[in-house]
Chains A and B, each alone.
Chain A
Amino acid sequence: MLNLKKHINLQAEYRHPIGLAVFRILFGLVSLVSAIRFWMKGWIEEFYIKPGFFFKYYGFEWVEAAPPAVLYSLYALMIICCIGIMLGWYYRAAAIGYFLLFTYFELLDKTYYLNHYYFISIIAFLLIFLPASSYLSVDVLRNKTRPSLIRGWHVNVLRLQLGILYFYAGIAKLNPEWLFNAMPMQIWLQEFSSTPVLGPFLTTPFAAYGASYFGLLYDCTLPFFLCFRNTRAWAYAAVIIFHLATSALFPIGMFPYIMIGATLIFFPGSAFKKIRRKVARFAPAIFIRIKGTQKKSSAGRPAFSGTLPVILTAHFIFQLIFPFRYLAYPGNLFWHEQGFRFSWRVMLMEKSGFAEFRVVSADGQKEWHIINADYLTPAQEKMMSTQPDFITQYAHFLCETFRARGVADPKVYGDVFVTLNGRRSERYIDPATDLAGTNDSWAHKQWILPSPQETKFVSISAKR
């Protein structure tokens, strides 16, 4: 059974550092690959240079895109930080640099918000406080860091963070759509209708329900099974199968590989013994023996004292509570999306919208219809048309744009329609509200029209 006392007892136990070191290496590697991929695909240009307008995060409106040359330099520096983390080379500086730079790029435009980018930011933040370079690192080789044992909490904070991610992703699936309609899985699997061999199976209701319930069980239980010694290996096999399957079925980029690497942190140091011995044969220098004298002197640094407990406690309280802020808003969360982000709500709905705007002069005499493509990139338009906080920001932008053209006090009205999980598109926001007069805030946005219908429980095969 899960020995809670052992896990909570932060200072007591010394552990072999290899698990944490492997985590650091894999995290650095995946971050590096992810960053290079991002650059190679031309996304720096496309996401941060080309757009004339950026959708800022609430409270981070002050984060500005630097000039292109600076952006590229910062991105290059971020890549160096990835290498630093991977090699354990100027490790602490690399971790701090990576956290700041990666988060900076994320904050430039919320169009590209992804839960796994949020996850990367958090892990980078936690790594700043962990002695992940005390083993298998360049810092050790060049005697900047002494190899040492680590404390239990050094790995447990990462386990806790991962556990929260999976568990919260799991309970987010406990909604009628997912449980009783196998939505949106039914829609997504439709894409494989003519895939040879597997296609006919994947498009059956059985596959849709099976995938929904498997996903639910997997997310809810995985952290626990990864904690138990007896189930750990099986659970990890499930991790590999689950993430490779989602990677094959859906366009979710690097996320599966990040998770396959990250969940290794649940294995104790002893699990790496065999690998350690094998690798040691080729490169014995890397595996410096941790001498008895070093154990006591440097183990457990940074120590769990000073402001660190406060920072980590605050972090995890935030992690536990923040995803539940949606309860403060009336109506269907999937519809209004107030309190949706930063809550590990992953692949939960099939939603898309159609938004057109009209700018009207104050006297109502003149009217301009807006072609969104004139101001937004396709990705921005796509995100804007289903999310109220984007809509209000865009309306403000349009208002300013027309004011600059000499229209006094322009009003902005929107015709926005949204389809959710296969339901007919319905009007999303009040067409009579002057959106230029609305604001983004924590308060409930009154101008979002109520969700058209409460979830209807339909058996998908009922009509055939």
Chain B
Amino acid sequence: MRIYCIVLVVIASLFTGCTEKTGDLVTPNCDFDHTAMLTHYADSLIIPAFDELQQSIAELKQEGYFFTDGVRDINTLQSLRTAFLRAYRAQQAVSVYYFGPAREQDIMLNERFNTFPLNIAAVEDAISQGTTNIDSLFKTSTGFPALEYLLYGNRAAGTTDAQVIELFEQQPHRGAFFKATLYNMAGKSTAVINAWRNGYRETFIDNTGAAEGSSLAMLVNELNFDYETLKNFKIKRPLGKFDGGIVQPQKAEGYHSNTGLELARKQLENIITVFNGGNGPGLDNYCACLDKGINATRLDIAINQQFEEIQYRLISLQGTLTANLDNNVAGMNDLLDEMQKLVPLIKRDMTSEMGIRITYQDNDGD
């Protein structure tokens, strides 16, 4: 019994010793308003982004129907392409919010809207068979890449604008497929924004904490995934990094419209906005709040510095993506190097600091 008492005293003295040494220990570590941050994300970033997607697709659908059923000439085609690019840009601003409604089984927004490269043969096959049930198709023959192909023709084959219009004239099924795709996408984008407006916003805001499945964890995970998609599939793959170093322009996003760089810039801009929470409380502020002074540079500052490096190089690329793949591989490699440097910062350091486990699956732990 005496030993037990001695040990109790030792324990007690250890704890007091602790508080004495660092007198200001009682200061709260990081008092951060998660609810305010999540509310800001929902109201100022996420809902407006899905709203823009829904509206731009609705407009695209309207123009598309007009083109298909009414006037098919170079003017209506150009106007339709403008509407298409607006909607495709809007997609770049929502791909990072791939959780909740967007990930519902019957929506799967990112997969169904933007899987590239397109399987052209499958699309032509579906058209010739008169397919209008878009959900029955594989994800590689639908979404924005399918629309792009129908509106710009096959870039590799050098399809002209006149030929694009002519194909619609000659093949009634082509117009029907085009309209069905638009209808399908309009339905999905509307379903997502409606879900956010009718309840999911509150679910998102109330789901605080950093545990697996919390809003913060989902946002951070998707931010990482979105960034890696940009890096791996929009830059790396066209550069031929998965193909022994032989450039693969036809595997790039926006290949037929040759808008790959523009879309990549839009996506990067959005990722930066998401990290910084636009002008409000965001992940950057949370990083700053959690900073423990262990590192020379605060994490949010280090991340934003690296974002600047990447953005500078991405903006410096002149002309189109295919042009750069042809004659500026060095510039592209330089961009890729800077992009690589960001991954440990956002995928490891940030998640580590926030206590978010990138737990891909449950395990027995240790």
A residues sitting closer than 8 Å to B (CB atoms) are 34, 38, 41, 46, 112, 114-117, 181, 186-195, 200, 203-206, 208-210, 213, 217, 221, 225, 228, 230-231, 234, 250-255, 346-347, 350, 352-354, 356, 361, 365-369, 371, 378-379, 382, 415, 417-419, 422-425, 456, 458-464
B residues sitting closer than 8 Å to A (CB atoms) are 1, 3-4, 7, 11, 14-15, 18-19, 22, 24-32, 34-35, 208-211, 232, 236, 241-245, 290-297, 299, 302, 340, 343-345, 347-349, 351-366
Q: CA A181 – CA B29 in complex, angstroms?
A: 13
Tell me whether A204 and B28 are in contact in the complex, defined as CB-CB below 8 angstroms, given that A186-B292, A252-B365 are known contacts. yes
> Are B242 and A350 neighbours in the complex by a CB distance under 8 Å?
no
**Top 8 A-B residue pairs of the complex, sorted by shortest distance between their CB atoms:** A378-B360, A252-B365, A425-B344, A253-B364, A190-B355, A194-B208, A417-B344, A369-B241
> Are B345 and A425 neighbours in the complex by a CB distance under 8 Å?
yes
Tell me whether A371 and B347 are in contact in the complex, defined as CB-CB below 8 angstroms, given that A116-B366, A205-B25, A253-B364 are known contacts. no
> Are A204 and B29 neighbours in the complex by a CB distance under 8 Å?
yes
Residue of B nearest to A418 (CB): B348
> Are A368 and B243 neighbours in the complex by a CB distance under 8 Å?
yes
Residue of A nearest to B18 (CB): A209
> Are B210 and A191 neighbours in the complex by a CB distance under 8 Å?
yes
Q: CA A167 – CA B18 in complex, angstroms?
A: 23
Tell me whether A217 and B241 are in contact in the complex, defined as CB-CB below 8 angstroms, given that A231-B3, A369-B236, A461-B27 are known contacts. no
A200: chain B residues at CB < 8 Å are 28, 31
A463: chain B residues at CB < 8 Å are 291, 293
The dominant DSSP class at the B interface is loop
> Are A254 and B4 neighbours in the complex by a CB distance under 8 Å?
no
Residue of A nearest to B31 (CB): A200
Closest beta carbon of chain B to A98's beta carbon, Å: 17
> Are A367 and B18 neighbours in the complex by a CB distance under 8 Å?
no
> Are A190 and B210 neighbours in the complex by a CB distance under 8 Å?
yes
> Are B27 and A422 neighbours in the complex by a CB distance under 8 Å?
no
Residue of A nearest to B4 (CB): A231
Q: CA A366 – CA B245 in complex, angstroms?
A: 6
A117: chain B residues at CB < 8 Å are 364
> Are B363 and A251 neighbours in the complex by a CB distance under 8 Å?
yes
> Are B292 and A460 neighbours in the complex by a CB distance under 8 Å?
yes
* Chain A to chain B contacts (Cβ below 8 Å), 16 pairs: A114-B366, A193-B209, A193-B210, A193-B355, A205-B27, A205-B29, A206-B19, A352-B352, A354-B348, A367-B245, A378-B360, A423-B294, A424-B345, A460-B292, A461-B25, A463-B291
> Are B244 and A367 neighbours in the complex by a CB distance under 8 Å?
yes
Closest beta carbon of chain B to A32's beta carbon, Å: 15
Choose among A38, A116, A217, A371 the residue that contacts B242 (Cβ–Cβ < 8 A): A371
B31: chain A residues at CB < 8 Å are 200
Choose among B25, B232, B356, B364 the residue that contacts A206 (Cβ–Cβ < 8 A): B25
